[in-house]
Amino acid sequence: MKPLNVIAKRLLTALLAAFVLIGVWPAAPAGAETKEQVDEVREILEQLHLSKPDDSDLNQTAIDAMVESLHDPYTEYFDPEEWKSFSDSLEQHFSGVGIVLVQDAGTIYAEDVIPGSPAEKAGVKPDDVIVSAAGAPAKGLTIADLQQKLRGKEGTSVQLGVERGGKTLSFTLVRSSIQLPVAEGHLLGDGVGYLSLSGFTSDAGSLFEEELGKLEKSGMTSLVIDLRDNGGGYVSAAQQIASLFIQDGVLAHLKDRDGNDTPIEAKGGGKDYPVTVLVNGSTASASELLSGALQDYGIAKLTGTKTFGKGVVQSIIQLESGGVIKVTVQEYFTPNGRKVDKTGLTPDHAVNGTEEQLIAAFQDAGGRALTVEFGKSSVLINGIRTAHPGAAVQNGNGWSVHLRLAAALVGAQIGYDAKAKTVTVSRGGVVHKLSEGDARLTKKNGWNLIDLQTFAGWFPELKSDAAGGTLKLSVR
C-alpha cells in the first residue's frame, strides 16, 4: 500500500485546484475494472475519505461496491467516458441546438434561446411552440424526450418545427458545441445591478468579475447576485469571487477526518454598495460556501428559501491505472463556524416563488420601478426572464394574472381563511376578500389567477398595457 504522503503529494501537485463542491451526479454503470484500479481506489478511500474506512469496510471486489459501501452520494468512480460526461456537465458544455424548454399542459415551448446558439442564429424565438423535432411530432413527448432528439454529435443536423403567431415554421439546425452562459449581468433599474451565476466552472470567477466590472462602470449602486439553482463546482472559483467582496478573512473552514482545520483565505476586496444574494432549495455546495461567507461578514443579505445543505468537499483524483475518482475529503463550515451539511443556510428574507423572490430582492436592494411582460411560457421582470407558463391568461377582452405575482408587484400580502374558504389580499390594513367560488378567481396549474380589472381597481398604481395578445404590467 502506498504511504499517505505519496497520495497526498499527487493530490496537491496534480490537482491543487480540483476541489469541487457539487451536487449528486448520476453516474452510469461502470465497465469492468482491473485489479490495479480496484487496489488503487481502495488505498485512496482508506487514506483520504472523511469517514476513515478500513479494509473491513471496503470488503467488496469491485470499485462501485467499495464506493457504495461508504453511503456517500458524493464519492464516485468514473471510467473515462463517464468522466468526460461529468466534466462537460461541470463546465456546462454540451452539443445541441441551444433551446431552453418548458412544458405546460402537454405543450412544449422554447422558454429561452441561448445567445449565439444554432437555434438563435436560425431565428428560433422564446415562446415558440415546438410542434416537431427530427421528423416526429412533439405532441405527447416529454421535455426529456425532446432534448434527446435535439442533442447529438456536433456537426449533425436536425429538423425543428415551431408554431408562431398561427404559422408553422421549419428550421434546419446544425448541432454545435454550446457553452451555457455562466455569468450574466443586467441593470434592473434604479441603480440595481443583477448578476446571475449558473455554476462554479473553472472560469466562473473571471467571468463573474468581468460582468461585475461592467455593472460598476454602468453606475450600479446596489447588487443582486442570483445563485438560485446553482449546484456548485470548483472551490477556487468561489474563492476568487469571495475575494472581490471580503477585505481580509476566510471563505470557509475546511475540516478533514482528523479535525484539522484548513481555512480558505479570501481577501483583497471590498465594495461600498449593498449586496443581496438570491438563494433557494437548489442553491448548493460552492453556492452555499460563497453565500454563507458573505452572510457571516455582513456583506450580503440572503433572500429566498433555505438552501440545499451540501457542506462537504470532494477532491478529483486521476487514477494511474485508469479512470477518475471523486472522493469526499473534508467538511466545510462558514467563517463563523456554522455547519452547512444537511442543514443549509437560512435566508434573512424568506420569500417563496421564483418571480416573487426576484421582485423582493430588487426591492431589498432599493429598487422601486417594476415592469412585468407576460409571454406564453415565461415572464420578463425588468428584463430578466423566468419560466412561467400561463402566468397571464386572456379572457375575451380581459385578462387574469397570477395572484401572488401581482401582489408582489404592489407589496400586498396573500392569505387564506380556511374556515371561511376565503382568499385575502391585504396591504396597509385594508383587506380584500374573495370566496373560493368567486368568478374573479380562476385556477391554473394549481395557482390562483385574479381578474386584472378587479385587482387594478384595488391598487390603482398598477398600470397595464395589453396589445397584440400580450400583457405588460408596471408600477413606479
pLDDT digits (tens, 9 = 90+) for 258-292: 999 999 999 999 999 999 999 999 999 999 999 99
Q: What is the pLDDT of residue 208?
A: 98
- The single-letter DSSP state of residue 330 is E
Q: Is 287 a catalytic residue?
A: no
Nearest to 474 by CA among 409, 418, 421, 422: 409
**For 118-143, what is the mean pLDDT?**
95
Q: Is 310 a catalytic residue?
A: yes
Q: For the chain, give the percent of residues with pLDDT over 70.
A: 91
**For 178-199, what is the mean pLDDT?**
96
Catalytic residue among 226, 296, 364, 451: 296
Confidence at 24, pLDDT banded by 50, 70, 90:
very low
Catalytic residue among 149, 310, 326, 376: 310
Q: In which residue ranges of the chain is CATH 2.30.42.10 found?
A: 95-179
Q: Are 317 and 44 in contact (CB under 8 A)?
A: yes
Just give the CATH number of 183-313+332-355: 3.90.226.10
pLDDT mean across residues, the chain: 90
Looking at domain 95-179, does it have CATH number 2.30.42.10?
yes
Q: Is 170 a catalytic residue?
A: no
Catalytic residue among 117, 285, 315, 378: 285
The Cα–Cα gap between 439 and 455 comes to 13
**For 428-448, what is the mean pLDDT?**
91
The residue written with cell numbers 422601486 in the block is 368
CA 419 to chain centre: 38
Q: What angle do CA 226, 228, 233 make, to 5 degrees?
A: 95
The Cα–Cα gap between 350 and 195 comes to 20
pLDDT at 83 over 70: yes
Q: Is 293 helix (H, G, I), strand (E, B) or coil?
A: helix
The Cα–Cα gap between 271 and 198 comes to 22
pLDDT at 6 over 50: no
pLDDT at 120 over 90: yes
pLDDT at 133 over 90: yes
Q: What is the pLDDT of residue 11?
A: 34
Q: What is the pLDDT of residue 223?
A: 98
Q: What is the pLDDT of residue 274?
A: 97
pLDDT at 393 over 80: yes
Weakest mean pLDDT among 10-19, 210-219, 386-395:
10-19
Classify the C-alpha dihedral 119-125-126-128 as positive or negative: negative
**For 117-137, what is the mean pLDDT?**
95
Residue of 80 and 401 predicted with greater confidence:
401
Nearest to 34 by CA among 262, 397, 240, 321: 321
Q: What is the pLDDT of residue 20?
A: 66
Residue of 5 and 278 predicted with greater confidence:
278
Q: Are 326 and 74 in contact (CB under 8 A)?
A: yes
Q: Are 285 and 305 in contact (CB under 8 A)?
A: no
The Cα–Cα gap between 407 and 414 comes to 7
Q: Are 198 and 181 in contact (CB under 8 A)?
A: yes
- The single-letter DSSP state of residue 200 is B
Q: Are 114 and 99 in contact (CB under 8 A)?
A: yes
Q: How far is CA 197 from CA 93, 121, 126, 232, 238, in A?
A: 15, 24, 21, 10, 11
Q: What is the pLDDT of residue 302?
A: 98
Looking at this protein, which amino acid is placed at residue 60?
A: Q
Q: What is the pLDDT of residue 105?
A: 84
Q: % helix / strand / coil in the chain, to the nearest 5?
A: 25, 35, 40
Q: In which residue ranges of the chain is CATH 3.90.226.10 found?
A: 183-313+332-355
Q: What is the pLDDT of residue 1?
A: 38
pLDDT at 57 over 70: no
CB atoms within 10 A of CB 446: 5
Half-sphere exposure in the Cβ direction for 92 (13 Å, CA): 21
Half-sphere exposure in the Cβ direction for 169 (13 Å, CA): 16
**For 390-406, what is the mean pLDDT?**
94
Q: What is the pLDDT of residue 75?
A: 92
Q: What is the pTM of this model?
A: 0.86
Confidence at 12, pLDDT banded by 50, 70, 90:
very low
Q: What is the pLDDT of residue 209?
A: 98
Q: How far is CA 61 from CA 41, 64, 317, in A?
A: 11, 9, 20
pLDDT at 31 over 60: no
Looking at this protein, which amino acid is placed at residue 131?
A: V
Nearest to 452 by CA among 418, 402, 379, 384: 402
Q: What is the pLDDT of residue 3?
A: 38
Residue of 359 and 70 predicted with greater confidence:
359
